[in-house]
Amino acid sequence: MGGTGVMGEIVNKPAGQDTAQEDAQESAQDTAQHTGQDTGPQAVAAAPGKDQKARAAKRALAKSLVFELALPLGGFYVLHGVGLSQWAALLVSSVLLAPWLVLGMVRSRRVEVLPAFTLLMIVVGALMSMVSGSPRVLLVRDSWVFGVLGVWVLGTLATRRPFMLTAARSIVAAKLGEAGAEEWVGRWDHDAVFRRHLRTLTAVWGLGFAVDAVIRVVLASTLPVDLVPLVNTLQWLVVLGGLFGFHFWYVNRHGLKV
């Protein structure tokens, strides 16, 4: 339950990039107002520094965790606690994620693949569970998303643009600008070691998503229904933490950090 929107941000852009930029501008404007500095558009645009962007990114990540993990999880237990059936509580709590996904696409002014796919899976899972009457169908739904994501990421290994090259480019652009990002991506064409490192990272992320999908199916099929949302959320945080931990270690170990 939850977490798919976070992956949408990872796939399409740095986590919370659009929101982080807006928050950074607001933070800069607040600071300028308190210090008596110019708060015009040019001053606000130039004001955000690395610290402000970092704080804004952290706020964006915190919002994602609240709306994509805590709200659906808490919603299920609250709704079930006040008398709704397991099926109804799971259905309603999963719908709580939809406005956040839609808002993210509205703010980015584009239809992003993974959030749109997640919304589709919410609808399909709800319809299938209505037919079967089983809450476990709703619990398995997230495994479809992560399973498809894992297969897609692994599939990019056979292309000239593996997942990690595409996903990391926007992060590099945010740090070095478009020219720097183009130069970084250009290493793919002539640097065999660079290609091997990016393929390794892509394979690890793809396998991580695929393993997570399998774990979700096993948990949804074997554990008591009331325990699955909590255990799913905890295991996803462990998997995601492990993936990021390996990623940062590997990037620093092999000099890939920009």
The predicted-structure confidence for 140-170, as pLDDT tens digits, reads as follows 887 888 898 899 999 999 998 999 998 888 7
Percent of the chain with pLDDT over 70: 77
For residue range 22-56, list pLDDT tens digits in order. Answer: 454 555 455 445 545 444 544 444 444 556 766 77
**pTM > 0.75:** no
Q: How long a stretch of residues is the chain?
A: 258
124, 127, 133, 136 alpha-carbon torsion, rounded to 10°: 10
Percent of the chain with pLDDT over 90: 36
Lowest-confidence region among 17-21, 86-90, 200-204, 228-232: 17-21
Rounded distance, CA 107 to CA 19, Å?
A: 8
For residue range 52-92, list pLDDT tens digits in order. Answer: 766 776 777 777 778 778 888 899 999 999 999 988 888 88
137: pLDDT confidence band, cut at 50, 70 and 90?
confident
Rounded distance, CA 55 to CA 59, Å?
A: 6
The predicted structure's pLDDT at residue 2: 56
Cβ-proximal residues to 125 (8 Å cutoff; 6+ apart), any chain: 94, 137, 138, 140, 141, 144
Rounded distance, CA 32 to CA 37, Å?
A: 5
If one compares 185 and 48, the residue with the highest pLDDT of the two is 185
The predicted structure's pLDDT at residue 14: 41
